[in-house]
Structure 1
Amino acid sequence: MTDKQNEIEAAVLQRLLKHLDEHKEVQNIELMNLADFCRNCLSKWYMAECNDRGVDMDYDKAREFVYGEPYGDWKDKYQKKATPEQLAEFEKKNGK
């Protein structure tokens, strides 16, 4: 992989995170139901890639990177309670 490709991929991730930040109204459960990933998934992927490369990263720090602030703060400000329909769709997709 070239340095230029790494730069492009980093810029795309930054753009994705900015887009998600600009659309806080989109709830994680909606992302999970539609795309099978959410902000928390991105956080776990980020943490795993850091740790695979010898960079110490825990889940809370990774979520702060993805959410742009501590997760608890973001959750208190923006996360809404999932509707029964959203929960049913999530359970259906996840075999529960």
Structure 2
Amino acid sequence: MDPQTEIELQAAAFRRLQKHLMEDRTDVQNIDMMNLAGFCRNCLSRWYQEAANERGIEMTKTEARESYYGMTMDDWKANYQTEAPAEKQAQFEVAFKENVTDKP
């Protein structure tokens, strides 16, 4: 497979993952994803931002989230986010520390 085709397939897989999380499974909460998999929609938007910044494209966290979510975070939270019980929040603190804040 040539490199351009590989890039296009990777981009298509990313777009399908994004569609799945943003349209097909809005019921899946970010906190559950982070607790189980060590990443969530916010991580995906951050990775998008980091990729842009590495290429000299200035993009803020807010801009990256709006691009990934297709709406503001306030709109996403109002439409889809539910309140997490204390136990899930405690698990999230550990998962976030292990998967986000401790990374080089």
TM-score by length of 2: 0.83
Gap runs ≥5 in structure 1: none
SS of 1:57's equivalent in the other structure is: coil
Distance 2:67 2:94 in 1: 30
- 4+ residue runs over 3 A deviation: 91-95
Gap runs ≥5 in structure 2: 99-104
Which moved further from structure 2: 33-42 or 67-76?
67-76
Residues 41-95 of structure 1, C-alpha deviation per residue, up to 9 Å, x if partnerless?
1111110110000112111111012212111111111111111221132234447
Percent of aligned pairs with the same amino acid: 46
Count residues with an aligned counterpart: 95
Which moved further from structure 2: 64-73 or 5-14?
64-73
Q: Which residue of 2 aligns with 1:83?
A: 85
**C-alpha root-mean-square deviation of aligned residues, in Å?**
1.6
Distance 1:64 1:71 in 2: 7
